Structure 1
Amino acid sequence: MPDQQWDKLFAQMNCARDRALLSCYISSGARASELLGVRLGDVEWQKGQLWVISKGTRARQPVPLSPESLAHLACYLDEAGLPETGMPLWRTRRGDPRPLTYWAARRVIQRAGERIGANWTLHDLRHTAATRLARDPKLTLVEVQSILRHAHITTTSLYTAVRLDDLVDKLAEHYARPVQPVAWPQQYASEDIEAVFGAGK
């Protein structure tokens, strides 16, 4: 998801819970079902991480959270109150609090996407987090693999590919620059250049 689209999507979140949920997805790279199962005791505020039950291995594993995500999470808990013992962090907002299901969270994204003419999904948030991590020059691919908990580094390496969407601004600058006249190094004879590239080159 390009940064501009992410900003538009996030701006559509109209409550503290949804802002916190999206922010936690984008900074942790957790899978949709993993994040929805997090409980209050799984959050380590000082370390900037939370613990999830891995979808694949069912092991309890840590994932990172940005300071911004922690701030959104604190705002959400301040507004909604702390969950009861054993209750997930993410709860419904109407009626008696119930755990927020995958389908309800999915619908939050769908409704927001419809308002901005997009069709992003919960899984796209993990992809976006993975792409941002993989393209950070200060993080090695092995480190990104560890954060995303990929079994194979070949999976992680998929996120290093550059998409055309990411090049729009650079291409616009390229097309706006005036065409520079071709200047060949002096050591090349003009007849050789003409023979290879044609007259006028």
Structure 2
Amino acid sequence: MTVTGDPRLPYWVVDGDGVPLGYISAFLRELVLGDGSPLTCRSYGHDLLRWWRLLTLLEVEWDRATRVEIELLISWMRSAPNPQRRRTRTDAESPGSVNLKTGKPSLAAGYAKTTINHALSSLSSFYAFHLRNGDGPLVNPVPESAERRALLAHRSPIAARPVTRRAPLRQRVADRAPRSIPEPLWEELFGALRTNRDRALFECYVSSGGRAEELLGMLGRHIDWAGQRIWVVSKGTRVLEAVPASPAAFRYLAWYFDEHGAPGPDDPVWRTIRGPVRPLTYWAARRVLQRVDERLGTNWTLHDLRHTAAYRMAADPNMSLVEVQTVLRHRQLSTTERYLQPRTEELFDKLAEHFARPVAAPQFAVGYAADDVKTVFGG
């Protein structure tokens, strides 16, 4: 993958000699023309790069690929280790293990099932594009479910999603409840932050419910001090939208600006505080949280902060579910409803109280003699 710097085609997939692969560039260019985000272009490009490497190894031309090569790719992804999961620290948690403090499992060593399904979707779209243009194979090598496509073709957006069989080769993905940070552990995490910049950023996360990339893209003009709100470019629509922030977030923001200078209207809000001043990237913000995790023995992620904000809002009796959906900018109300489920920690606390509660003695209706009850039921 090569970054082009051209908004009309942000990424190129190149061969071993650094020459862009034209048939992939044509597909990615249509994604951009269809208002696909640069992140979508990058994600599809990585899937196609993996596919190109496999075909090169097998000495199969891309327009001669069949379902056999697709099945080989899926077999490899189900068994191969994911290089992104490689651990260099000897004391790091082993992939797939559960953190006893947070109750969250670490990512497994291999490719996630959602990653495999995404790869299949990318390849299916790629070959469908070339089928329309008449320059690819006559049959899409990625199998699909005709039943599911027919049921979803004319479905009303307010109707329940029909239950269908998975398409061939698609992986079964479990529907897990989102994980949020309990209040005691949040106070511990927040207390471990060392700078007002980090405290301001994390307080903005848990009060606004903004996504990591959205908040990191804030500029100086996106802060409304009087209205106690901030403006972010929404991930899905890429439209500038207002979200609320807590008074504590603005207080830490003010302290952060006093220490390191207020940004100009077109300057990034979140900047590095050591070395040359640069915009704070997602990877740098994630590293801040990783250092805290290492000190506390936890494995929280930046997206857990959004889940925490969502749970707090959903648990507030004065906020309706539709209002929470509006703040979080969910397209479907069913996505917001997931945050109505009780936290696992709360269930365990209630069950612990249940087990510790003495068993109540049986009570019988008034009028029955104790000797008669003993004769019938024993004792």
Amino acid aligned to 1:21: L
- Structure 1: segments with no counterpart, 5+ residues: none
Q: Which moved more, 1:168-177 or 1:91-100?
A: 168-177
1:60 paired residue number:
240
User: Alpha carbons of 1:123 and 1:185: their partners in 2 closer, same or farther (altered >3 Å)?
Assistant: farther
Q: Distance in 2 between matches of 1:57 and 1:178?
A: 55
**Per chain length, whose mean CA-contact separation is higher, i.e. which structure has more relative contact order (CA < 8 Å, sep 6+)?**
1
User: Taking structure 2 as the reference length, what is the TM-score of the superposition?
Assistant: 0.48
The counterpart of 2:197, out of the listed 17, 21, 24, is: 17
Q: Which has the greater radius of gyration?
A: 2
1:102 paired residue number:
282
- Structure 2: segments with no counterpart, 5+ residues: 1-180
User: Alpha carbons of 1:41 and 1:179: their partners in 2 closer, same or farther (altered >3 Å)?
Assistant: same
2:323 paired residue number:
143
RMSD: 2.3
Quote the offset at 1:200 in angstroms. Answer: 6.1
2:250 paired residue number:
70
2:299 paired residue number:
119
Alpha carbons 2:220, 2:264 under 8 Å: kept: no
Alpha carbons 1:53, 1:60 under 8 Å: kept: yes
Amino acid aligned to 1:160: L
Cα deviation 1:61-119 (Å, max 9, x = unaligned): 01111111111111111111112442211000112211000000001011101111111
Cα deviation 1:15-61 (Å, max 9, x = unaligned): 10001110010000000000001112111112111010001100010
Could you list the structure 1 runs, at least 4 aligned residues long, displaced by more than 4 angstroms after superposition: 187-190
2:170 paired residue number:
none
Q: Distance in 1 between matches of 2:235 and 2:349?
A: 37
Quote the offset at 1:10 in angstroms. Answer: 0.6
User: Taking structure 1 as the reference length, what is the TM-score of the superposition?
Assistant: 0.89
1:33 paired residue number:
213
Quote the offset at 1:187 in angstroms. Answer: 8.4
Quote the offset at 1:185 in angstroms. Answer: 4.4
1:130 is aligned to 2:310: yes
